[in-house]
Structure 1
Amino acid sequence: MKKHIKIFILGIVSGLLLLGCKKDFLDRYPLDNIVDQNFWKTENDLKLYANSLYPTYIVGFGTDFADGTVQPWGVNVNTLVYGDVITDNAAPLTYSKVGTDEYISHLSGTNESGGWNFTGIKQLNFFLDNYKRADIPEATSNIYLGEILFFKAWDYFNKVKLFGDVPWLTHSLNVNSPELYEARTPRAAVMDSVVMILNKAITCLPAKGSEESNRINKDMAQFLKSRIGLFEGTFRKYHPELGLDANKFLKYSTEASEALLNKYSLVQGNAGTVYNNLFATESYRGNTEVILWREYSAALTYGAAFSRYFAQNLRHQFGATRNLVDEYLCTDGKPISSSPLFQGKTSIQTEMQNRDPRLTQTIANFGTYNLASTTIQGANNAPLPNLPGMSGNKCPTGYRLAKWFYNSPVDWDRVTSGQQAAPVFRYAEILLNYAEAKYELGEANQSVIDQTINKLRSRVGMPGLTVGAEPTDTRLDDIYRNYAGGVINPLLREIRRERRVEMAFENTRWDDLMRWKTGRFIDIPVEGIKFVQSQFPAVVVNRDIYLSAEGYILPYFKTLPNGRKFNESKAYLFPIPVADILLNNKLVQNPNWEK
């Protein structure tokens, strides 16, 4: 079994605790002077500084109660799981205003809010300005240089996704540094710099298996390059108004993916359980699919209250959407619009028959994924979901999430020391990145599809995809026609379908909608399960819930009667906080956010 790669934050915590115990040392050298007077001498100094940045970038499920909110998305700090609640995959109890004209957080937020925060970049640059002062071999210092450049590339990538043009900072700065009051650096220059430093990181970082335990290696940086290349390449292609070269970034993605192909493999098992089991574990040791993960430690009472509150459906109180459920193929490889195996939508039980096994491992059919104990608050979310009108935390669509559900009362009772492990980089994404980038380059032949899409389908016993014989899907074609300006090539449609299904609730959907320029998919009416009164005798229609003409639950019938409206004129980028623009008159607001 191939050696996995993991990030284990315990070393970071231990190192910081040890530093914190040196009271006399800290009394003698104030914290803001330590680096200048006593740091940057040894390898351990470089390691300790790098360690302090790991939790900022390898977030996993967060720590402690993990109940913070991340802006500008307004999502729980555990964006890995909850990031999809602002997309067409999910419906939280309170609808998201992201992407609509109702989003006004930038008007009232303080400076350096809403994602426009460069604290992490300044900390990374502080290392870059000082690490060469250590009297150690260059080969040793380069290891930590690679880690810092990896984090810097990731940080800037996230900022470009949010804002487009952003200031490129190369040195550590103070509050009066003139660089803080310059105009933004054009997107093209920033992304070229991102790739440059990421390539340097790949050169500096140790190869897989030769790195010190629990630290970053080359494969992780290649993974990030694959993700960045695909995002930027497709964003440029489908936003031609930018006038930027898409193909060079698509090639970056394929090159990075090829560096990882066949070094890892998809975890195999029973087709009916293997996918769900992948996300419900306390360890990925020996896992051949997970490239980067965050582990927690019971011994040091270091963990996150994720499994407990996920089982309660407390964070966001959300459910999946019918729009997502309808995307899953039937077991003959055909969509519900054409497959004779589809049993109809008379109930959740009928619509889940004869479907891609990942559907029932992502969305809980009634009577499945029942809680092992009823002593936990929210236990009435199973075997039936908590619809409005019932007691407890709500599942407003009736489609309760099964993915990420860790049915362990022991872990629930650990509360803030929960040990469920968080997979951050997964090989499945590399396969999807490669298939899509090759398609966009005009190189997606049957061999490519067999190496990628068909491996994912084979794991769960689904028929393979044949290039040139893609199934007809009038339902999905109509969605593209009505919400994206036209029908797309059937092969691309199936590659995108596979990505949505495989990566559901892993915080990739928003980025996908933005780069494909399909933000208006958010406008698709939000519907839930077909409501069957006999299954919910206490729920009163037109008081507790409201139904469509077809009998589907409409979770926002009262609160959002006209539906959510994505504003394509501006919402593919977020606005800069007004407070920052007032501080720097060279900053220009993103288009159409000025009003």
Structure 2
Amino acid sequence: MKKHLFIIATVIGTLALHACSDFLNRTPLDAFSTPDFFKSPAELRAYMNTFYTATNFPKYANHGNDFNSDIQTTGAPDTRLQGTRTVATSGSIGFGEVRRVNYFFDHYKAVEEKHSLEEYQQYLGEAYFFRGLIYFNLMRSYGDIQILTSELNTNSPELYNPRNPRNEVADFIIGQLDSAAMYLTPDKTSGAGRINRWIALLIQSRVALYEGTWEKYHAGSEFGVEGANPEKYLEKAAEAALEIINSGVYEVYNTGDPENSYKEFFALQDFTSNSEVMFWRKYDNELTRGESGFTNDRNFRMETPTSRTITKQLADAYLCINGRPISGNPLFKGHTTLSEEAENRDPRFYQTIATPDDTWKIHEDGRVEYWSGAYNRLNSSADYNAPSGYIIQKGYNPNMIYHVQQYEESPGMIYRYAEALLNYAEAKAELGTISQADIDLSIKPLRDRVGMPNLVTGEITHDPNWEFPDLSPLINEIRRERKVELAAEGFRWDDIARWAAADELIVGKRPKGFLASQIDESPFPVDEDGFLDPLKNAMPSGWGFKLDRDYLNSVPISEIVLNDNLTQNPGW
């Protein structure tokens, strides 16, 4: 990949054009603008509290988080997938958060005058964690990015440093997370307070898996990496995930009821002592009501689909209860009705997708309504608009006492142990070193929760509909497991991007739904086989994702014109 010079154009741009930038229109570091401030651990803690934001910790949200992918749809084309984005003419890269965290590193040592490392190392670890996390978000957006480790001013020569190649950025992030893991507490804690060592390792495994697979699958393309070494990152991903697994601190939440365990897990009202949730957001109206980023109405919003639905691309991915795909499987009852479609399927199907006979609402007087009430009203109003027909219920609690507009206290799940298991399995499979023991350690606990047969390396049934027919059956099945287990949690676009999989999953395709004959009337188009095809008219040729451009974001033109050394990302 070309080495482009990259200047923090937000600084230069503000000076030249008085634009809104990260540098001059910045928050005044939450009033902590004097080097005399960092004199106690409490002051370090207060400063790090400002990084515990919805931006850094996006939670599992209403109706899911995968609408920028192939597995959920709102009935409107996603601009990235459609290939209709244009070069940003203004805006900033996003270095404001980098500057804020670097301010901490420039000044925190003032605390050493009166306090030992043991008294403040948690907050130092948090600073390393957030710097790594912030840079990971930048790398995912722009690829190559300038590495800055101190607070800069308008005269700093570092402003004119070249943009660092993405693999150097990945190494920097992994190093930051190594430091974070060294300083952060190893205690599990309630998961709703401060981050710990294991969370740093989870994100490290995520970053390393992302870069390892990006380098492997984008090799030879516009997004390839010079001096690529995917094995290095895949080994790190497996190593970090395995350390979490071997710690014994976490385990898969399992009530012993495969018909409900997965669904109940996401609908819990408190994760304080949960074995699987590593980090979550607690909503307490006595403490946080009215604060920015703390509005919460997940269950209230999920009572109806409101144009947010699961796609057939996800529904068809669920195996049958014999552990085999639906194609040619006598256990598969077909698509005639949603109830038949869910029969004999991996229980995660009907614990993610609402079926007509499942509980919709439990009223305070004990009265129960079923999802058939919602399906009977599909497309009767904006609230019941359902482009694909499949209503999501993952994360939904039917008890109406928890349905409160704006001020629900339902918790927001952020990180969970299942990701570590899936990262480990995928990294080992990509390295070609995975064993049955590795699968038993990682995939089996997830399948055990829902009563599904284990994945056995020598007994994988061929699926003519595998998404990646050129890859091994084992990698296809591990990717399927990830797709199903993490559905609607916000992972899917990143997976498509790092696998360079838009050609298989996006280009020329459209999100589909269930058989239109199941509902009396639909405002959405239908394909030649009778399945809902909500974007048929909007994009008759399917998604127009540009393979040589859309994996990364554009650099705003307003920043490029100010500096001859700043060049654009590929394809833009």
Contact 1:80-1:505 within 8 A present in 2 as well: no
TM-score, normalised with respect to structure 2: 0.86
Task: List aligned pairs for 1:57-76, cutoff 5 A.
Answer: 58-61=56-59
Q: Is 1:117 aligned to residue 108 of structure 2?
A: no
Aligned match of 1:439: 429
Cα separation, 1, equivalents of 2:239 and 2:116: 31
Aligned match of 2:399: 408
Q: Is 1:128 aligned to residue 128 of structure 2?
A: no
Aligned match of 2:301: 310
Q: Is 1:272 aligned to residue 259 of structure 2?
A: yes
Pair 1:171–1:209, CA change in 2 (3 A) = same
Question: Could you give the per-residue CA deviations for residues 16-51 of structure 1, whole angstroms, max 9, x where no partner exists?
Answer: xxxxxxxxxxxxxx9887432641111111111011
Pair 1:546–1:254, CA change in 2 (3 A) = same
Aligned match of 1:361: 351
Q: Is 1:384 aligned to residue 375 of structure 2?
A: yes
Q: Secondary structure at the match of 1:111?
A: coil
Contact 2:241-2:424 within 8 A present in 1 as well: yes
Q: Is 1:238 aligned to residue 220 of structure 2?
A: no
Aligned match of 2:120: 141
Task: List aligned pairs for 1:125-524, cutoff 5 A.
Answer: 125-134=102-111, 135=113, 136-175=115-154, 177-209=156-188, 214-241=193-220, 242-243=225-226, 244-262=228-246, 263=248, 264-269=250-255, 270-302=257-289, 303-313=294-304, 317-372=307-362, 382-384=373-375, 387-388=378-379, 390=381, 392-413=383-404, 415-476=405-466, 479-480=467-468, 486-520=469-503, 521-523=505-507, 524=509
Q: Secondary structure at the match of 1:296?
A: coil
Unpaired runs of 5+ residues, structure 1, are 1-29, 62-77, 481-485
Amino acid corresponding to residue 567 of structure 1 in structure 2 = K
Amino acid corresponding to residue 72 of structure 2 in structure 1 = A
Aligned match of 1:66: none
Question: Could you give the per-residue CA deviations for residues 43-98 of structure 1, whole angstroms, max 9, x where no partner exists?
Answer: 1111110111112555344xxxxxxxxxxxxxxxx669643101000111322111
Pair 1:31–1:321, CA change in 2 (3 A) = closer
Task: Name whichever of 274-283 and 81-90 sits farther off.
Answer: 81-90
Per the TM alignment, residue 141 of structure 1 is displaced from its structure 2 partner at its CA by: 3.0
Q: Secondary structure at the match of 1:566?
A: coil
Pair 1:212–1:223, CA change in 2 (3 A) = closer
Q: Secondary structure at the match of 2:280?
A: strand
Contact 1:201-1:221 within 8 A present in 2 as well: yes
Pair 1:133–1:314, CA change in 2 (3 A) = farther
Identity %: 33
Pair 1:385–1:286, CA change in 2 (3 A) = farther
Per the TM alignment, residue 197 of structure 1 is displaced from its structure 2 partner at its CA by: 1.5
**Could you say what the CA RMSD is over the residues aligned between the two structures, in angstroms?**
2.5
Cα separation, 2, equivalents of 1:251 and 1:443: 10
TM-score, normalised with respect to structure 1: 0.83
Contact 1:369-1:402 within 8 A present in 2 as well: no
Cα separation, 2, equivalents of 1:586 and 1:211: 48
Q: Secondary structure at the match of 1:452?
A: helix
Aligned match of 1:36: 34
Per the TM alignment, residue 360 of structure 1 is displaced from its structure 2 partner at its CA by: 0.2
Q: Secondary structure at the match of 1:150?
A: helix
Which of 68, 73, 89 is matched with 1:91 structurally? Answer: 73
Unpaired runs of 5+ residues, structure 2, are 1-27
Pair 1:40–1:512, CA change in 2 (3 A) = same
Question: Could you give the per-residue CA deviations for residues 268-311 of structure 1, whole angstroms, max 9, x where no partner exists?
Answer: 12111110111112211111111111111132253432324532
Cα separation, 2, equivalents of 1:345 and 1:494: 22
Per the TM alignment, residue 124 of structure 1 is displaced from its structure 2 partner at its CA by: 0.3
Cα separation, 1, equivalents of 2:326 and 2:29: 62
Pair 1:454–1:80, CA change in 2 (3 A) = farther
Q: Is 1:572 aligned to residue 551 of structure 2?
A: yes
Pair 1:307–1:213, CA change in 2 (3 A) = closer
Cα separation, 2, equivalents of 1:210 and 1:489: 40
Cα separation, 1, equivalents of 2:357 and 2:230: 47
Contact 1:412-1:418 within 8 A present in 2 as well: yes
Task: Name whichever of 333-342 and 240-249 sits farther off.
Answer: 240-249
Q: Secondary structure at the match of 1:55?
A: coil
Cα separation, 1, equivalents of 2:138 and 2:30: 27
Q: Secondary structure at the match of 1:292?
A: strand
Task: Name whichever of 123-132 and 190-199 sits farther off.
Answer: 190-199
Per the TM alignment, residue 591 of structure 1 is displaced from its structure 2 partner at its CA by: 0.7
Task: Name whichever of 432-441 and 81-90 sits farther off.
Answer: 81-90
Amino acid corresponding to residue 186 of structure 1 in structure 2 = P
Contact 1:80-1:507 within 8 A present in 2 as well: no
